[in-house]
């Protein structure tokens, strides 16, 4: 099980888990999931797609709305959570474990300095 304390968060409500020196797993936070409501569809990038930090890389549709998901890091998509195609509700049920979106391999040194730890993210969402 992923411990939320070990994750880093963006102001766009994505989380990042460091898998190695040059690889991360990305998902959306429980706060984002609560705001979206029941998720009915997830569109993920292709494996080997190049993504730029701050750019849209996925789309999540809920009964309320469609939301773009932005990547917090630049790199190449090395893995996608294919189970979300048939079971998008995993995002609602388990956003930090079974509901992860993609793994990204970074080509340059991994810079996570603009992300917040779990405590800072909690304070940020409490202020919204």
Decide if 126 is inside a domain.
no
Decide if 121 is inside a domain.
no
- Residue of higher predicted confidence among 112 and 39: 39
pLDDT digits (tens, 9 = 90+) for 66-100: 999 999 999 999 999 999 999 999 999 999 999 99
Percent of the chain with pLDDT over 90: 88
The mean pLDDT value for 31-43 works out to 96
Range of the domain at 80: 4-108
The mean pLDDT value for 43-67 works out to 96
Q: How many domains does the chain have?
A: 1
Cα–Cα dist 45/30, whole Å = 21
pLDDT over 70 (residue 8): yes
Decide if 118 is inside a domain.
no
**CATH of residue 28:** 2.40.50.100
Decide if 116 is inside a domain.
no
Decide if 128 is inside a domain.
no
């Amino acid at each position: 099980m992923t411990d939320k304390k070990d994750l880093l968060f963006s102001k766009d409500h994505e989380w990042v888990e460091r898998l190695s020196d040059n690889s991360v797993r990305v998902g959306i936070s429980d706060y984002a999931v609560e705001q979206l409501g029941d998720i009915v569809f997830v569109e993920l990038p292709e494996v080997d797609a190049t993504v730029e930090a701050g750019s849209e890389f996925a789309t999540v549709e809920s009964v309320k709305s469609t939301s773009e998901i932005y990547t917090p890091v630049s790199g190449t998509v090395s893995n996608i959570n294919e189970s979300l195609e048939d079971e998008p509700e995993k995002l609602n049920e388990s956003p930090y474990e079974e509901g992860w979106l993609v793994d990204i391999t970074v080509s340059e040194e991994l810079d996570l300095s603009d992300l917040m730890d779990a405590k800072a993210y909690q304070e940020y969402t409490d202020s919204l």
